[in-house]
Structure 1
Amino acid sequence: MKYSAITSWDDVRVEFKKIWGYEDFRPPQGEIVRSLLDKRDALIVLPTGGGKSICFQLPALLQTGLTLVISPLVALMENQVQELKDRKLPAALLHSELPSQERQKTLQALERQELRLLYLSPETLLSEPVWERLCQPQLEINGLILDEAHCLVQWGDTFRPAYRRLGAVRPALLKCKPPGTKIAIAAFTATADTTAQATIQNVLKLQQPKFFLISPYRDNLNLKVQTVWSPRGRRQKMLKFIQGKSGQSGLVYVRSRRDSEELAQWFGKLGYATAAYHGGLGAEERRKIEASWLNGNSQFVVCTSAFGMGINKSDVRWVVHFQAPQLLSEYIQEVGRGGRDGLPADALTLVSEPTGWLNPEDKQRRDFFVNFLRSQYQNAQKLVNKLPLQGEVKTVATQYRDGEVALAILHSANQLEWSDPFSYRKNPRIDSATLVKLSATQEEIQSQMTQYLTTRDCRWQFLLREFGFTKEAINFRCQRCDNCLKSR
């Protein structure tokens, strides 16, 4: 059904119930759906479990034409697309791990305009075979959705520089389409402070966007941080916590593939049915582990950040961070997997003793990431004068190691503009002080997590303040986190 043919909002709700079975929208889902159907740009910050995907999937299905969903992880794409396919809905995905036969099948469906939703990564979107097809004048494109938009801020400068070029996508596509074509852009995330919101808005070039900003606070999520004094002590504290959960479903988050495999093996020897889950696994293995956890055959999964996005399990009663994430945005995403049914859930984070003398692993991990970040910015500074004033991203990436990263950092420092998604124009005079300042800002963002782990304030009050909900944070006490319980 096409939106223009729908005579009333009741018709939209009828389609919503027909596809998903729900009687009505949860606030502010209805307003977001209406905004996207009206082709309005939007920035949406909804807590984990807030039903974000429905907000862009429904408008896409109610219109003719295609909606592009830019997604950061293969696992996330596969989960969402599989759910849509199970409902016999016209959705597909493209990513680098896809067998060539399936890839060709999707590209043909794209050319025949059989799809309503196409999920792909920023890198795949900007790959030649995909971009050529998207630029066909007859292909109607309604919207560009950036799912998990905090990844643009988190990874766009250094790890996934293609994110920085997304703002050039809409104008480039519109040049190929009939006059009067409108393509709406909407960014969805569970975590974006005011700085991140500004970055997302600027990079994507949102035009008079509508903002939907909902506090991340979840009154059923009990936050706790515990200090450990040795690697053995860390494992024992985690084990004691899980033993107290009497078979309840949970998740153990680690920061590396190796840690997930070593811990899963350790738990296996103790008789726990679990598995290691990370981005290095094949699609079939990932599906198998997810299914085992979703149907209750395994109590928990030992996973990296690759697990959780887009996987819906309502009765997760606990989340353990065996090691703390680098960023608060990651932390909120991951603890948010707990208690989606509204019942209480506990989130425990284990941290090394603060000096790092007895147990230096957390300090070493933190220092490694800070040093890596610093080296990326230093490399960008060295490349600044070598890069041509204007040129192709592909050429720079071929000629210079980390050339694409250097371009992304220059764009982040407002020293470069994209002529289109594939070419750039550099400022004739680069302000090096801006790059130094940008590096310092990134290090400051990294330090927010340490501040959270060591705060004596109510943990939810700290999070509300950091994510820009300053009014809500005034005199706020959750009365459930470890700090509130201590003060009582």
Structure 2
Amino acid sequence: MNQPTTKSWQEVLAAFKKIWGYEDFRPPQGEIVSSLLAQKDALIIMPTGGGKSICFQLPALLQTGLTLVVSPLVALMENQVQELLQSHQKAALLHSELSSFQRRTTLQALERQQLRLLYLSPETLLSPPVWEKLCQPELQINGLILDEAHCLVQWGDTFRPAYRRLGAVRPALLKSKPPGTKISIAAFTATADPSAQKIIQTVLQLQQPEIFRLNPYRPNLHPSVRIAWTPRGRKQQLLKFIQNRPQQSGLVYVRTRRDSEDLAQWLAEMGYATASYHAGLGATERREVEASWLSGKILFVVCTCAFGMGINKSNVRWVAHFHAPHLLSEYVQEIGRAGRDGKPAEALTLVSEPTGWLDSGDKQRQEFFQEQMRSQQQIAQQLVKKLPKQGEVNTVTRQFPEGATALALLHSSGQLNWLDPFHYSIAQKAGNQPATQLNAAKQMHQYLTTKQCRWQFLLNAFGFDKEAANLRCGHCDNCRQ
């Protein structure tokens, strides 16, 4: 049976100083650490660059037993684990790109209880060899951390359906552990509006969570939106923006892999040392691009949303969205990579003119996104007629290629319960269609076209109405006009 760790605050601060070299916490880091050491459930919303990872790494390292960190991207896990290993901490990671030797070594360390932190993706957590090890009664598990928890909301219905099964993990693990065992769950993210917070709490089945919310406002970050009248004009505007910022580090965000490669090539022809980055690249190529950018060998990367989560570079002076993201939460995540050193930074977004006559690109991207959401919903509703009322997820996915997505969508509309992380039961009634993504896309469009202070709009959108009242930041394009 695992009892909450009773460490004096002196010991906690001493460990904090020894591992990270800081004298004291920034609020609310200390309260979050206390809460996790007391093994309480928690939901933490802190801006990018606010020191979130320390809040769960420190409690994990101070306890005997294991803390699982569920993380969406390999790059994110590797960066955090590398830093921990450099300071000689007992951390490891498991993901699909590891060699079988590396996997075996980590699984052995897990079995011998030599780890304090294990990073893995939702898919790896629920893979049979890993799940089997985690369910061994003698393996002490203290907590489950969901890092970048907005991914559960953004991707859980369609792109990464395993996220929707995470709520069944704790009850299933507790069944295999000695009576009286406690496993706490904490979800960390930089962006979650009130509806996303509710989804995270419901899906993870958080029990009376302590909620820590820091507002995302950054006075040094200057957002602006500019109209690009033609595809050629869009490129010229971006080029001019980069030319006006010589020797400054930045990021250019695009929607697709192909856009990333085409634009990087064009900018290279214009004489810039840059690179394309997207999820289709191999692990080695991705690391090389990250390292070149972090070291300043290349000043900017042309990337999709696959780049940046958990990558820490404090002196990024600008982020340009060559294409606007579909969701406001993605946008806030991405602009939050600029100006982490507190010095002024620019966030530019280029959009087509509203009619879409001269450049229909933005309109087409938006329509394609909405069409995709609708068709996945329809597939799920058709599939529900063919699926057994109770079943096992792997059997369903072998039989129906869209099976995993359909189950996630049914769970999201309240038509399905997970009996454990692998078995489901479908309720008779048709649920309400989850409109989260489509509503969020509408909100993004409102942001791009608003005439009000952009920071005021963002604070309202993320539920910080009190802070938003009467705010005029004075440094976004709308305030400056």
State the TM bucket, normalised to the shorter chain.
Answer: over 0.9
| TM superposition shift of 1:393 | 1.0
Residue 483 of structure 1 is aligned with which of 457, 478, 481? 478
Q: Deviations for 1:227-246, whole angstroms, at most 9, x for unmatched residues?
A: 00111111110111111112
Structure 2 length normalisation: TM-score?
0.98
Report what 2:429 is aligned to: 430
Helix, strand or coil at the partner of 2:386: coil
For structure 2, the 5+ residue unaligned runs are: none
Check the 8 A contact 2:155/2:161 in 1, yes or no: yes
In the alignment, does 2:162 pair up with 1:182? no
For 2:5 and 2:70, how far apart are their aligned partners in 1?
28
1:149 aligns with: 149
- 2:219 is matched with 219
1:402 Cα offset (Å): 1.1
Counterpart residue number, 1:66: 66
Is 2:27 the counterpart of 1:27? yes
Change (3 A) 1:291 1:355: same
The reply on whether 1:325 has 2:315 as its aligned counterpart is no
What CA distance in whole angstroms lies between the structure 2 residues aligned with 1:7 and 1:61? 12
Q: How many angstroms does 1:284 deviate by?
A: 2.0
Aligned equivalents of 1:132, 1:150: Cα separation in 2: 27
Indicate the SS of the match to 1:326.
coil
- Alpha-carbon distance change, 219 to 410 in structure 1, aligned in 2, over 3 angstroms: same
Counterpart mapping for 1:303-318 below 5 A = 303-318=303-318
After superposition, where does 1:68-467 map in structure 2 within 5 Å?
68-427=68-427, 429-431=428-430, 434-435=432-433, 438=434, 440-467=435-462
Q: CA deviation at 1:293?
A: 1.2
* Structure 2 CA distance for aligned equivalents of residues 222 and 41 of structure 1: 35
Q: Are the aligned partners of 2:474 and 2:480 in contact in 1 as well (CA < 8 Å)?
A: yes
Match of residue 44 from structure 1: 44
My pick for the range that moved more, 400-409 or 238-247, is 400-409
SS in 2 for 1:320: strand
CA distance in 2, matches of 1:442, 1:307: 21
Amino acid at match of 1:444: N
Q: CA deviation at 1:289?
A: 1.5
Give the match's secondary structure for 2:419. strand
CA 1:6–1:381 in structure 2 vs 1: closer, same or farther (change >3 Å)?
Answer: closer
Partner Cα separation in structure 2 for residue 36 and residue 127 of structure 1: 27
CA contact (8 A) 1:384 1:430 kept: no
1:87-118 deviation per Cα after TM superposition (whole angstroms, max 9, x unaligned)? 22111111111111111111111111111111
Q: State the Cα distance separating 1:352 from its structure 2 match.
A: 0.8
Q: How far did residue 283 of structure 1 move?
A: 2.1
In 1, Cα distance between equivalents of 2:467 and 2:54: 27
Q: Which moved more, 1:321-330 or 1:287-296?
A: 287-296
Quick check: 1:252–1:320 contact (8 Å CA) kept in 2?
yes
Segment drifting more, 457-466 vs 387-396: 387-396
Percent identity between the two aligned chains: 70
Shift of the alpha carbon at 1:79? Answer: 1.1
Return the alpha-carbon distance in structure 1 between the equivalents of residues 23 and 152 of structure 2: 34
Name the CA distance, whole Å, in 2 between partners of 1:266 and 1:98: 34
1:44 partner SS: strand
* Alpha-carbon distance, 1:442 to partner: 3.1
Are 2:473 and 1:474 aligned? no
Contact 2:5 2:37 in 1 (8 A): no
Q: Is the alpha carbon distance of 1:6 and 1:168 closer, same or farther for their aligned partners in structure 2, counting shifts above 3 Å?
A: closer
CA 1:397–1:373 in 2, change beyond 3 Å: closer, same or farther? same
Please report how far the alpha carbon of residue 7 of structure 1 lies from its aligned counterpart in structure 2 after TM superposition: 4.8
For the structure 1 residues 441 and 310, does the alpha-carbon distance in structure 2 shift closer, same or farther, using more than 3 Å as the test?
closer
- Alpha-carbon offset, residue 441 of structure 1: 4.4
Aligned residues: 480
The structural deviation recorded for 1:5 is 7.2
Give the Cα–Cα distance (whole angstroms) in 2 for the partners of residues 213 and 359 of structure 1: 40
The structure 1 segments of at least 4 consecutive aligned residues displaced by more than 3 Å after TM superposition are 2-7
> Hey, what's the Cα distance between the residues in 1 that align with 2:306 and 2:415?
33
TM-score (norm 1): 0.96
Q: Verify the 8 A CA contact 1:254 1:303 in the aligned structure 2.
A: yes
Q: 1:256, 1:441 → 2: CA distance? A: 22
One-letter amino acid of the counterpart of residue 477, structure 2:
D
* Distance in 1 separating the partners of 2:69 and 2:30: 19
- What is the rounded CA distance, in whole Å, between the counterparts of 1:202 and 1:6 in structure 2? 30
Contact 2:5 2:38 in 1 (8 A): no
**2:448 partner letter:** L
Query: Take 2:23 and 2:6, find their aligned partners in 1: how far apart are those partners?
Result: 18
Supply the distance in 2 between the matched residues of 1:3 and 1:247 (Cα, whole angstroms): 53
Query: Is contact 2:5-2:63 (8 Å) kept?
Result: no
Provide the rounded CA distance (Å) in 1 between the counterparts of 2:285 and 2:246. 27
Q: Which amino acid aligns with 1:464?
A: L
- For the 8 Å contact 1:191–1:329, the answer to whether it is kept is yes
Rounded to whole Å, the distance in 2 between the matches of 1:275 and 1:406 is 36
| 388-397 or 218-227: bigger deviation | 388-397
CA distance in 1, matches of 2:406, 2:288: 39
How far 1:401 moved relative to its partner? 2.7
Shift of 1:257: 1.3
C-alpha contact 2:263 2:302 (8 A) present in aligned 1: yes
SS at match of 2:424: strand
